[in-house]
Amino acid sequence: EGLHSLMVAAGKLYFGTAMDTGNFNDPAYMAIVTNKSEFGMFTPENSMKWQVTEPQLDKFSFTQADEVAQKVKSNGQMLRCHTLVWYSQLPTFVANGSWTPATLSAVMTAHITNVVTHYAGQCYAWDVVNEALNEDGTFRQSVFFQTLGSAFIPLAFRAAAAADPRAKLYYNDFNLETTPAKTAGALRIVQLLQSNKTRIDGVGFQAHLAVNHTPPRTSLAATLRRFTALGLEVAYTELDVAQTALPESAAALAQQARDYVAVVGSCLDVPRCVGVTVWQFTDKFSWVPAAFPGRGEACLFASDYSRKPAYDALVALLRGR
Ligand code: G3I
């Protein structure tokens, strides 16, 4: 029994992972991906981002993301779609354009409509807006916020809802687990949408965490409940727990296992937490070392695909031992 089967047995919808086409030519990687018991949900790590799907104005390209979607579908697994409106990995025409509110809202709406329509019926959920907040809970100075103010958020959710009534629509961000001012900002985004009668179904907690800096299970669950109390579902969407000193000690590996258990355990504690996605399952392909030199070894499997103590601890947690 793998993580997904055990998660379903525990009453959740899925255990998932990020992956992308760059991983497809690694047989050991794909053997794990195609094991339906291990992972039931996949998020394309990069291939659905604006830079890839609309590299030039009105020139849409779905080749790469279709490869991921096709692989997942042919194996009877689910897809979390990521992401429509994000300040990063934007094509230069968006990032460097000189926009008015009217021209940017038209381009943003057209982007959302095209991409969501292309994948309509295939996405369990869409991360409609990603990382709109600063750590203090104010809005990040993205091209979208600078041009449209916070109105870009309801605009984006409405376009997504119109293009796929079935996909759950999520706001997704990092450090919502750890940073109360940012959590408060995300709650304000939910309330902004709800007071506008605009559909939002869920909030994604990315959970890019670090060993020894992961909150305890009870406070993680309490944070999730602040969102489920507003009628939403929640999910951990990009979980990894980075080591901060490398190579890690045996004690640090054991702490990493406890940190993973705290996060997945908090999802078990909250009925409307639907599932957990890790942001790659092997250290071989983790984004962490490139982005944070000196950090890494953040995943459940080592680079050689051996299962780490954190993997075994999640199996024990999900088996109820
Ligand atoms: O595709 C190019 C390739 O052509 C080029 O040779 C190579 C050289 O650097 O770069 C490749 O692009 C890289 C891309 O990943 C695809 O591999 C970018 O440099 C690299 O910056 C990019 O990193 C991604 C990052 O988002 C970008 O911000 C990571 O893989 C991806 O894991 C990461 O994912 C984000 C989530 O989407 C949102 N939340 C945070 C999370 C971690 O940063």
Query: C-alpha angle with apex 277: 273 to 278, nearest 5 degrees?
Result: 140
Q: Which two tokens stand for residue 152?
A: 């870009």
CATH class name, domain 3-319? alpha beta
Helix (H) or strand (E) holding 190, with range, is helix 180-195
pLDDT tens per residue, the chain (321 residues)? 999 999 999 999 999 999 999 999 999 999 999 999 999 999 999 999 999 999 999 999 999 999 999 999 999 999 999 999 999 999 999 999 999 999 999 999 999 999 999 999 999 999 999 999 999 999 999 999 999 999 999 999 999 999 999 999 999 999 999 999 999 999 999 999 999 999 999 999 999 999 999 999 999 999 999 999 999 999 999 999 999 999 999 999 999 999 999 999 999 999 999 999 999 999 999 999 999 999 999 999 999 999 999 999 999 999 996
The SS3 call for residue 37 is coil
Rounded (10°) angle between helices 180-195 and 217-228: 20
The SS3 call for residue 58 is coil
Which residues, other chains included, contact 226 with Cβ-Cβ below 8 Å and sequence gap of 6+? 183, 187
Q: What is the DSSP letter of 169?
A: E
End-to-end distance of the chain based on CA atoms, in angstroms? 15
HSE of 37 in the Cβ direction (CA atoms, 13 Å)? 4
Q: For residue 238, which of 91, 112, 80, 3 has the smallest C-alpha distance?
A: 80
H helix runs in the chain, sequence order: 3-9, 27-33, 50-53, 63-74, 92-95, 101-118, 143-148, 152-163, 180-195, 217-228, 250-269, 288-291, 309-319
**113 and 158 Cβ atoms separated by less than 8 Å:** no
Q: Separation of 46 CA from ligand 1 center, angstroms?
A: 7
Single pTM value for the model = 0.97
Helix (H) or strand (E) holding 185, with range, is helix 180-195
104 CB burial (10 A radius; 0-12, 13-18, 19+): buried
CB of 45 closer than 6 A to ligand 1? Answer: yes
Please pick, among 54, 238, 248, 297, the residue that the annotation labels catalytic. Answer: 238
Q: Is 131 a catalytic residue?
A: yes
Alpha-carbon distance of 205 to 238, in angstroms, equals: 7
How confident is the model at residue 145, as a pLDDT? 98
Q: Which two tokens stand for residue 238?
A: 């990009």
User: Can you name the residues that pair with 43 across neighbouring β-strands?
Assistant: 18
Report which ligand 1 atom has the smallest distance to the Cα of 280: 32
CB of 141 closer than 6 A to ligand 1? Answer: no
Mutate to test the pocket of ligand 1, among 287, 292, 295 (most ligand atoms within 8 A of CB): 287
Which residues, other chains included, contact 34 with Cβ-Cβ below 8 Å and sequence gap of 6+? 75
Q: Is 177 a catalytic residue?
A: no
CB of 142 closer than 6 A to ligand 1? Answer: no
Please pick, among 131, 177, 233, 297, the residue that the annotation labels catalytic. Answer: 131
How confident is the model at residue 296, as a pLDDT? 97
Q: For residue 205, which of 195, 197, 193, 215 has the smallest C-alpha distance?
A: 215
The SS3 call for residue 61 is coil
How confident is the model at residue 207, as a pLDDT? 98
CB of 55 closer than 6 A to ligand 1? Answer: no
Domain assignments of the chain as residue spans, ordered by start? 3-319
How confident is the model at residue 114, as a pLDDT? 98
Q: For residue 193, which of 167, 156, 143 has the smallest C-alpha distance?
A: 156
How many residues are recorded in the chain? 321
User: Can you name the residues that pair with 233 across neighbouring β-strands?
Assistant: 202
Radius of gyration of the chain, Cα coordinates, nearest whole angstrom: 19
Q: Separation of 80 CA from ligand 1 center, angstroms?
A: 18
